[in-house]
Amino acid sequence: MLVEAVVEPSLSSDGWIVEFRHTRGGLVPLTDGNGIEQCFGDVDMATENALDIGFHQVRIVEA
């Protein structure tokens, strides 16, 4: 079960990624239909996508 949505800067490209914390402690990235991690141009777009998944709160980690 996913328990937390986290938005943070991407380490591999210029933008923001969304990850979800699992109850067992691991992180699951938000991916597209091909399984590739999605990277958003700004923090607002990344946050909106995390909220669209169904989370009511998103933690933002800034570099």
Percentage of the chain surpassing pLDDT 70? 100
Contacts of 62 (CB under 8 A, 6+ apart): 8, 9
Q: What is the pLDDT of residue 63?
A: 72
Q: What is the pLDDT of residue 50?
A: 96
Q: Are 7 and 58 in contact (CB under 8 A)?
A: yes
Say what the pTM is.
0.90
Instruction: Give the CA distances from residue 33 to residues 30, 36, 37, 38, in Å, rounded to whole numbers and listed in that order.
Output: 10, 7, 10, 10
Q: What is the pLDDT of residue 57?
A: 96
Residue 62 forms beta bridges with which residues? none
List per-residue pLDDT tens for the chain, 63 residues long.
999 999 999 998 899 999 999 999 999 999 999 999 999 999 999 999 999 999 999 999 997
Q: Are 37 and 27 in contact (CB under 8 A)?
A: no
